[in-house]
Chain A
Amino acid sequence: TQLLEQSPQFLSIQEGENLTVYCNSSSVFSSLQWYRQEPGEGPVLLVTVVTGGEVKKLKRLTFQFGDARKDSSLHITAAQPGDTGLYLCAVPTYSGYSTLTFGKGTMLLVSP
Chain B
Amino acid sequence: GAVVSQHPSRVICKSGTSVKIECRSLDFQATTMFWYRQFPKQSLMLMATSNEGSKATYEQGVEKDKFLINHASLTLSTLTVTSAHPEDSSFYICSATTVAGSNQPQHFGDGTRLSIL
Residues of A within 8 A of B (CB): 30-31, 33, 35, 40-45, 48, 50, 88, 92-105, 107
Contacts and interface: CB of A to CB of B under 8 A. Distances in A.
A98 B108 contact: no
A102 B41 CA distance: 13
Give me the 10 closest cross-chain CB pairs, A-B, nearest first.
Answer: A42-B108, A92-B102, A104-B43, A102-B43, A45-B105, A98-B97, A102-B44, A31-B103, A41-B110, A42-B110
A42 B95 contact: yes
Contacts of A41: 110-111
B110 A40 contact: yes
Interface size class on chain B is 20 to 34
Contacts of A105: 43
Given A40-B111, A42-B108, A96 B43 contact: no
Given A42-B95, A100-B46, 9 more contacts: A30-B103, A35-B108, A40-B110, A41-B111, A45-B105, A48-B103, A98-B49, A98-B102, A99-B46
Nearest to B36: A102
Interface string B74-117: 00000000000000000001010100111111111111010000
B94 to A, nearest CB: 8
A44 B109 CA distance: 9
A69 B100 CA distance: 22
A93 B46 CA distance: 10
B102 A97 contact: yes
